[in-house]
Structure 1
Amino acid sequence: MPDTTPSGLTRLAFGGDYNPEQWPESVWREDVRLMREAGVTMVSVGIFSWALLEPAPGVHDFGWLDRLLDLLHENGIRADLGTPTVVPPVWFFRAHPEALPVTADGTRYAFGSRGAICHSNAAYRAAAADITTRLATRYAEHPALALWHVHNEYGVPVSACYCDSCAAHFRRWLADTYGTVEAVNEAWGTAFWGQRYASFDEIEPPRLTPTVGNPGQALDYKRFADATMRENFTAERDILHRLAPGVPVTTNFMTALSQCDSVDYWAWGREVDLVSNDHYLITDGRRTHVNLAMAADLTRSVAGGAPWLLLEHSTSGVNWQPRNPAKAPGQMARNSLAHVARGSEGAMFFQWRQSRRGAEKFHSAMLPHGGTDTRVWREVVELGAALDSLGAVRGTRTRADVAVLWDWHSWWAQNLQWRPSEDHDPRERADAFYEALYDRHLTVDFAHPEADLSAYPLVVVPALYLMTEAAGNNLQEYVENGGTLVVSYFSGIVDEHDAVHEGACPGALRDVLGLTVEELSPLLAGESVRITGPDGGELGADVWTEFVVPRGAETVWTYADGLTAGRPAVTRHRLGEGTAWYVSTRLGPEGLDALLGRAAQDAGVAPYAELPRDVEVVLRTGEAGEYLFAVNHTATDAKVPLHAHGTELLTGERAAGCLALPAGAVRVVRLDG
C-alpha cells in the first residue's frame, strides 16, 4: 500500500503551485534558485497542463515536464505531480461537446473556465484514464516524485450535471442503491403529489420544475453527483497505484464549511492516501482565524486524526471575493503555523509566482509581481526558516478536548426548499458553536454522527436535521455510558431519505433528550425572545422557538415572552451515567457560552488555562514528544502558562512556568519529559 506521507520528503512541506508554463523557460532556473533561498521543499506541478501535455488528440509533449522535474530534482525540491483532468483541452470539447455539463434548467456551459465537466461522460472518463496512465508510466520512477495530485478541488465550481448521460447514470445508480423501483418510491414518498414511478426508465434528474420538486429525489441526486465524482477520482487513483506503487495519492479538498457544500468529505477521506486541503480566509468582517481553526480541525477529523497537508492557502489577498484585503504583516506566518498546530504537515500556497495574465493575476503568490524586494517575499523566506525548525513535529497528532458532530448529507437535506424558516442556517449554527468552544480554549474534533464517541467527555450537535436511527442510538449509548451531549434545535428530525421520523419531533433524539416537541415555531424576521435562567438572569435569542414538552428532562432556561412564554427553552436530561442538554432557540454568543459552560461542568472539561481571547493553545503529541503551539491573534503581548519546562523551537530559548507570547506571534515549545 502507498505511504500516507509524500515520498522522500524529510521536512515539513513548504512551497506552492508552480505553473512554469506561464513563463519562458529561461525563468525556470531563477525560480528554482529563489525556491532554494526561501526554503521550498515541494511544489505542485502540472495541474492545469493537459492542453500542453496533449496539444492535439493522441499527440503528446512531455519534454517540458521532463526538464522541469529534472531541474527540481537537481535542486532538492520534491514534486506533487498533478493529473490535469480538471481542464480537458478545447479540442476534446470540440470533439465531445456533450462532455460539458448541463444545468437544471437545461443550459449547457461553454468551454473557457475550469472544472466544467460532466462526470458521467464516457469520453471524458476514457480520456482522463489515458492521460493519467501516460503520466504514471512516464514518471512513476522519477526521483522528484513525492505525491500524486488527482484533478483539482472536486465539486468546484460544478458538481452536478443534468444531461441525458447523467440521467441514464442516475438510473443505474438508483438500481444499484435500491434494487427495485418500488424501494425508490418508498424512499422518496412518491405517493405525495402523484409522483409514483413504474420503472427506473421513467426517472429523470431533478431538473427545473414550476414549484418545489421531490426532496428525496433532490437529496439522492446530490449523493449521486458526489459518488460520480468520487468514481472518477478512484479510477485515476487506481491507475496511479498500479503503475506507481508506493507513491501516495491525494486530491485537494475544500473542507471549510463556507466554501464547498457538494462533497461528502467523510466518504472522500477514506479514498485518499493523504488528506489535503485548500483554505482561504473569507474576509467578511468576522474573526477569520476562527474559521481557519475550524477548517483545520475538520480536515484533521476527515483524516481520522492523522496528520494531513495544507495544500493551498494565500500569502496575502485573494482575487475572487467582493473585497480582497491584503494580509497584515505577520499574518501569513500566523495563519500557516495555526494550520500546522492543528495537524498539517506543512504549509503550501497557491501559487509560487504571481501570474501576469488570466483570471487570478491579482491573487497573491509567494513571489509577487514586485519580486524579492517586497514584504510578502521577506515573510515567505522567514516562514520557510520557521517551518524548517519545526521538522520534529512531523508525525505527531493534535490532541482534542471535545467533539462536534457534522454530516454533509444532513447539510444537503437541510438546505433543500420549503423548510420551516430560511433564517435557520446549519452552517451558521456550526460556526457559532465552534466559535463558542474556541473562545473557551477547547480544541475540537469533528465526528460523523455514527462514529465512536467514547473518547470525548463532551459532544456538541449544532445542527443535524437529518439523523439516521443508528446515529440516534449511538448518541443515546454515548450518554448512557457517561458522556455529556449538547443538541441544538431542529436536529434529529428526518431519516436518511428526508422522511420525518415516526412520532413527535425530535424523532431520533426523543429518548436521549427526554422530551418531545409539540410544534415548531420559527420567528419572523427581526423578532426576538428572552429566556430566563435559574438565577433569574436573562438571555436573548432569535430565529427559532419550539413548544417543548419535557418527558424526563428538567427545565433550565424558560421562555419569558413570545408564543412559547412559560415553556422550556433549554433542558437537561440525566440518562444512565451521562447528561443530555437541548436548546430549542438560537442563542447568541453570550447564551452559547453560558450553555456550554454548564455542559462543560457536567462533562468535567476545563479550558487549557485562563487565556486572553484570540490566543489559542494547541498540543501535538506523539513518539517524538509533546509540542505546545501558542498563537497570538491579538495586538497585545500575552503570557501562556506551561505545565512543564521546554525549548521554544522558533527562537531556541528555554521556557519554564510561563511562555511570553508577543503580539501577533507564534511560539512552539517542545516540552520536556
Structure 2
Amino acid sequence: MPDTPETTSPGKPRLAFGGDYNPEQWPESVWQEDVRLMREAGVTMVSVGIFSWALLEPEPGAYDFGWLDRVLDLLHKHGVRVDLGTPTVAPPAWFYRAHPDALPVNREGVRYAFGSRAAICHSNPAYREAAAAVTTALARRYARHPALALWHVHNEYGVPVSACYCDHCAAHFRRWLADRYGSVDALNEAWGTAFWGQHYTSYDQIDPPRLTPTAGNPAHQLDYRRFADATMRENFRMERDILHRLAPGVPVTTNFMTALSQCDSVDYWAWGREVDLVTNDHYLITDGRRTHVNLAMAADLTRSVAGGAPWLLLEHSTSGVNWQPHNPAKRPGEMARNSLAHVARGSEGAMFFQWRQSRRGAEKFHSSMLPHAGTDSRVWREVVRLGADIGSLAALRGTRTVADVAMVWDWHSWWAQSLEWRPSRDLDARERADSFYETLYDRHLTVDFAHPEADLSGYPLVVVPALYLATEEAGRNLRRYVEGGGTLVVSCFSGIVDEHDAVHPGAYPGALRDVLGLTVEEWSPLGEGEAVRITGPGGASLEADVWTEFVVPRGAQTVWTYANGPAAGGPAVTRHRLGRGTAWYVSTRLGAKALDTVIDTACEDAGIEPRTELPTDVEVVRRCGDGGEYLFAINHTTDDAKVPLPGPGTELLAGEHAAGHLTVPAGGVRVVRLDA
C-alpha cells in the first residue's frame, strides 16, 4: 500500500477534509444540498455506511444497495471520495432476535440489551458469520466503484464494550490460552496458581475472570484483557482479509482512539501493524486541564503507532460534543487550531463527526460541520475557511513530523498497574504519562512514543513515566540505550513485574535495577492530601505527593533528597552514569512544573538546548520530506506571539513571505514552507 493513500480526487492530491456522512438519516431531497455545500466547504472525502447494516440487509441474506448506490454515484459526480464502512459495529434488530447470545455479558453476569451501539460479543460464531457475509457483499458490490478511496472496518473497537464474559468467550478463552501456553502446567507456572489454591489440571476448568468475592488472580485478569483485545483484532483481520481479496489495492483501516483518556482496552502497538493506514478519532476532554496538550499527546501517540508514517485524523468535533458532564462550545478559531495541530503532528488531513447535525438519536446535540443553525452560523463559516486552509497545504502530503525526544509507553503495563490491590490507588499510569508529556510540551519538545522493546538509539532523551510491567528484554533494551550514550529518565514504581505480573526476582526495581544503579527496599505511599518536600542542588526545594520510596544507591548519585516524610534523609532523585549515557530515577510523584526541574538537568545531559525564546502555549512543530520543510506555529494564547524562523520561507495560509520572526496572532495558526 502507498504511504499516503489517495483520499482526494485522482490527479488532484490534497489533504483529506470532510466527515462522517449519514444520508440515510435524511430524505433524498436533502442529498443534493449536501453535495453542493460539500463543494462549497472544500470537502474531499466522507465516511459512509458505518451504522447502516439494518438498511443494507433488512432481512437475513436480503440486501438493499439501491440507496447506497445512489449516494456513492452522487458523491463521485461531485468529486467527493468515500471512506466506505463495513457496518459491523451495529448488527440489526433481526440479528439479535435470532441470536440473543451475541449480546455481551459483563463481569457481573448481566447481559446487555439491544438499543445502543457496539453491543457485541466478539467470540460469538453467529456474529462472525454475519459480519463476514455483509462485508463480502459490500466488497463485491463496490470494490471498483470510482468513489471508493478507503475501507473503514467496524468503528472504534473497544468502545464502549471490549470484553464479554459469556460462555462463548469462556470456550474461546480456553482455546486462546492453550495456544499461548501449550500445557496447563505452563499456565499454572505463569499465573502463580499455587497462591490461594487456584491450581488447574485442565483448561476446561478455566473461566473468564468473572466477579469474585475479593481480588482475583491478576495474571488471569491481565491475560483476559489481552484475549479481549486479540479477539477484536481477529475479527478486524477477518474483515480486512475479505476486503483485500475482493478489492485489491484499496487501503483498509479502522478508526483508533489513542487518547489515553478515551480508550484503555486496546493495544494500539499491535493494531498499528494490522491496518494499511492508521486513522484516529480525537475529542477534547473538558476536565479543567489544557485540552490542547492532550490533543498534541494523542496526535504524537497516533503518529508513533503508525511508525512515524502519515496517518489521518478521521473524526473530531467542530465544536462541543454531547457525552460529557459539561459540553462547552469551541471558541472562535479553536476548531482550526485543533485541526491544524493534528496536521502538524502528522495527520494527512482533518475529518469530523459528522457532516450534517442529526435531528434525532443520542448524538443530536453533538456538533457537526453543517449545524442545526445552517450556513448562516459561525461554525459553518469556520468550516469553509478551514477547508480552504487545508486545501492550501497539499504540498505537505507524505512529509513526516520531526520528533525531538521519546516517551516509552506500553498498554499491557497500564492494564497490569490498573488491577486491584496495588500499593496506592492514587498512583496512576495515565496521570504520570500526562504529567511527563506536559513537561516536555512546555519545553517545546515534540515527542515520539515508543514500545519499551523498540530501538531508542535515535533519541537523545527518553522518558519512562510508568512501566510497572517491564519484560527482561525491556530492561536490557533500556540499558543498551544508556550505555550507547542516551539519557534516560524513569519514574517511580517501574520495572517491578514481568509479563505475567510476577515480581522480578530480587530487590525492586527488578528489570531496571542495573540501568538505574540502585535498589528500592520498600515503598511508602502517602495518604490522601499528604505531601513531602525534596531538596536539591543549591538548596532548591520541590513538593511531591502520593508516593515515596526507600532508595539505596548501588552506583547512582543522589541529586535530590527527601527533606521530610517516611523516607526523610534518603535519595529522592538519582543519577547513574552508565557507559556513555546517564539514567535518572524519580522515586516520588512530582507535578509537571516540579518535574521540569529534573527534566531540565536531564536535557543538559542529553545536549538539548532550552527553547526559552518560545512563549508558553505556542507550539512549534516541523514536518519534513521530499515535499520540503514546513514549520507550524500554533498560538493557544490570547496574545500575539513572535516565533523565530530558522530561515526565510512562505507562509502558506496567507501566501506571504516570512523571514526572521513570524508573528502568530492570538488564537491563530501559521504554516511556513521554508526555502530550500
TM-score band (shorter)?
A: over 0.9
Q: Which runs of 5+ in 1 are unaligned?
A: none
Deviation at 1:590, TM superposition (A): 2.8
Per-residue CA deviation, residues 299-330 of structure 1 (Å, 9 max, x unaligned), is 00000000100000000000000000000000
Any conservation in 1 of the 2:7–2:16 contact (CA below 8 Å)? no
Deviation at 1:658, TM superposition (A): 0.7
**1:437-452 mapped onto 2 (5 Å cutoff):** 437-452=440-455
Partner Cα separation in structure 2 for residue 382 and residue 141 of structure 1: 33
Aligned to 1:212: 215
Partner Cα separation in structure 2 for residue 544 and residue 505 of structure 1: 15
Per-residue CA deviation, residues 13-39 of structure 1 (Å, 9 max, x unaligned), is 000000000000110000000000000
The one of 627, 643, 646 aligned to 1:643: 646
Deviation at 1:4, TM superposition (A): 5.0
**1:352-391 mapped onto 2 (5 Å cutoff):** 352-391=355-394
What is the aligned-residue identity percentage?
Answer: 81
Aligned to 1:478: 481
Partner Cα separation in structure 1 for residue 561 and residue 117 of structure 2: 52
Partner Cα separation in structure 1 for residue 510 and residue 251 of structure 2: 43
1:5 partnered with 2:8: no
**1:413-424 mapped onto 2 (5 Å cutoff):** 413-424=416-427
Partner Cα separation in structure 1 for residue 106 and residue 345 of structure 2: 38
Any conservation in 2 of the 1:641–1:658 contact (CA below 8 Å)? yes
Aligned to 2:302: 299
**1:395-474 mapped onto 2 (5 Å cutoff):** 395-474=398-477
Q: Comparing 604-613 with 527-536, which one deviates more in the overlay?
A: 604-613
Partner Cα separation in structure 2 for residue 482 and residue 224 of structure 1: 38
The one of 656, 659, 666 aligned to 2:659: 656
**1:77-226 mapped onto 2 (5 Å cutoff):** 77-226=80-229
The one of 508, 524, 532 aligned to 1:521: 524
The one of 232, 235, 239 aligned to 1:229: 232
Partner Cα separation in structure 2 for residue 612 and residue 135 of structure 1: 51
Q: Give the partner amino acid of 2:406.
A: A
Partner Cα separation in structure 1 for residue 220 and residue 82 of structure 2: 42
Aligned to 2:261: 258
Per-residue CA deviation, residues 101-123 of structure 1 (Å, 9 max, x unaligned), is 00111100000000000000000
Deviation at 1:645, TM superposition (A): 0.4
1:614 partnered with 2:622: no
- What SS class does the counterpart of residue 88 from structure 2 fall into? coil
Deviation at 1:582, TM superposition (A): 0.2
- What SS class does the counterpart of residue 52 from structure 1 fall into? helix
1:44 partnered with 2:53: no
Partner Cα separation in structure 2 for residue 573 and residue 278 of structure 1: 40
Any conservation in 2 of the 1:250–1:276 contact (CA below 8 Å)? yes
Aligned to 2:279: 276
Q: Give the partner amino acid of 2:606.
A: A
Deviation at 1:346, TM superposition (A): 0.2
Aligned to 1:28: 31
Any conservation in 1 of the 2:457–2:481 contact (CA below 8 Å)? yes
Any conservation in 2 of the 1:3–1:247 contact (CA below 8 Å)? no
- What SS class does the counterpart of residue 470 from structure 2 fall into? coil
Q: 1:3 to 1:131 in 2, by over 3 A?
A: farther
Aligned to 1:341: 344
- What SS class does the counterpart of residue 386 from structure 1 fall into? helix
1:241 partnered with 2:241: no
Partner Cα separation in structure 1 for residue 614 and residue 655 of structure 2: 24
Q: Give the partner amino acid of 2:31.
A: W
Aligned to 2:496: 493
Q: Give the partner amino acid of 1:371.
A: G
Aligned to 1:670: 673
Partner Cα separation in structure 2 for residue 114 and residue 53 of structure 1: 17
Deviation at 1:549, TM superposition (A): 0.1
- What SS class does the counterpart of residue 79 from structure 1 fall into? strand
Deviation at 1:348, TM superposition (A): 0.2
- What SS class does the counterpart of residue 184 from structure 1 fall into? helix
Q: Give the partner amino acid of 2:214.
A: T
Q: Give the partner amino acid of 2:359.
A: R
Q: Give the partner amino acid of 1:624.
A: G
Partner Cα separation in structure 2 for residue 669 and residue 35 of structure 1: 27
Any conservation in 1 of the 2:85–2:152 contact (CA below 8 Å)? yes
Q: 1:7 to 1:296 in 2, by over 3 A?
A: closer
Q: Give the partner amino acid of 2:441.
A: Y
Q: 1:262 to 1:17 in 2, by over 3 A?
A: same
Deviation at 1:589, TM superposition (A): 2.6
1:591 partnered with 2:594: yes
Any conservation in 1 of the 2:225–2:265 contact (CA below 8 Å)? yes
- What SS class does the counterpart of residue 539 from structure 2 fall into? coil
Any conservation in 2 of the 1:240–1:249 contact (CA below 8 Å)? yes
Q: Which runs of 5+ in 2 are unaligned?
A: none
Aligned to 1:574: 577
The one of 304, 308, 319 aligned to 2:311: 308
Deviation at 1:6, TM superposition (A): 3.4
Q: 1:4 to 1:130 in 2, by over 3 A?
A: farther
Any conservation in 1 of the 2:484–2:579 contact (CA below 8 Å)? yes
1:602 partnered with 2:584: no
Any conservation in 2 of the 1:40–1:384 contact (CA below 8 Å)? yes
Any conservation in 2 of the 1:333–1:383 contact (CA below 8 Å)? yes
* Total equivalences in the alignment: 673
Q: Give the partner amino acid of 1:6.
A: E
Partner Cα separation in structure 1 for residue 2 and residue 659 of structure 2: 41
Aligned to 1:72: 75
Q: Comparing 581-590 with 397-406, which one deviates more in the overlay?
A: 581-590
TM superposition score normalised by structure 2: 0.99
TM superposition score normalised by structure 1: 0.99
Deviation at 1:285, TM superposition (A): 1.1
Any conservation in 2 of the 1:631–1:664 contact (CA below 8 Å)? yes
- What SS class does the counterpart of residue 535 from structure 1 fall into? helix
- What SS class does the counterpart of residue 538 from structure 2 fall into? coil
Partner Cα separation in structure 2 for residue 60 and residue 356 of structure 1: 27
Q: 1:494 to 1:267 in 2, by over 3 A?
A: same
Deviation at 1:45, TM superposition (A): 0.2
Any conservation in 2 of the 1:6–1:248 contact (CA below 8 Å)? no
